[in-house]
Amino acid sequence: MQPANMAYDRAITVFSPDGRLFQVEYAREAVKRGTTTVGVKYKTGVVLIVDKRVTSRLVEPGSIEKIFEIDDHIGCATSGLVADARALIDRARLDAQINEITYNEKIPVKTLVKRICDFKQTYTQYGGVRPFGTALLIAGVDETGPRLFSTDPSGALMEYKASSEGSGRNGAMNYFESHYKDNLSMEEGVELAIKALYKGTEGKLNPEATEIGIVDKSFKFNIVSPNKTKEYVTKAIGGS
């Protein structure tokens, strides 16, 4: 790197002459190196699926957390630095509980996502801090219906019908572009998400290192059992 650029590279609060914040871009690179996550909105809910990418047979897959419950009606999947994600999720859980205590109602999904992103954005403005090196796929169901949001290290957010984050994002998004359709059933949504994740991982999806979370208007957010997950994955990729 040329010495003239190093001043912009080292400080989060300084724009480069072409309007870039290098530290935010580096945080995005941390997300791109993370495990692949996918989310699909179906008719009555949202499914989140994560490839845990177990790198050693000595690791217990159950010890790797990539999908988290925020509230009864909201869950999220993370790609990037899991420790950063845990800090954001703890804050999101607190915001959800404060809202329920204050207003006696569940927090709307978009409201919670905006609060998380506002918090992330402050870490791009001040010296002595760094951006969060994680992207969250946040899924929930409220009075407006199923919602699926993607958040960026910069604090930006976007709502999707189907989305992906992590190292296999391009492959998964290409699959979604070709195969997603509206008004999917839950079973169809799970199958589509698994197939997209399979494409994103270039066919290296391990059923035992896959985690599925589902939130539906008729039941609370829950993480699917390992046996049921294996059944879903085997059925979906068997037809790929």
Q: Which residues are catalytic?
A: 35
Distance from chain centroid for Cα 107: 19
Distance CA 113, CA 72 (A): 15
Contact 90, 136 (CB under 8 A): no
Encoded tokens for 108: 């709307």
Distance CA 106, CA 132 (A): 26
212: β partners: 49
Query: In this structure, what are the phi and psi dihedrals at residue 229, rounded to the nearest 5 degrees?
Result: -60, -45
Encoded tokens for 34: 């993370």
**Strand 74-80 and strand 210-216: pairing?**
unpaired
State the sign of the Cα–Cα–Cα–Cα dihedral 198, 203, 204, 205. positive
Give counts: helices (H), strands (E), the chain. 7, 10
Encoded tokens for 16: 């480069």
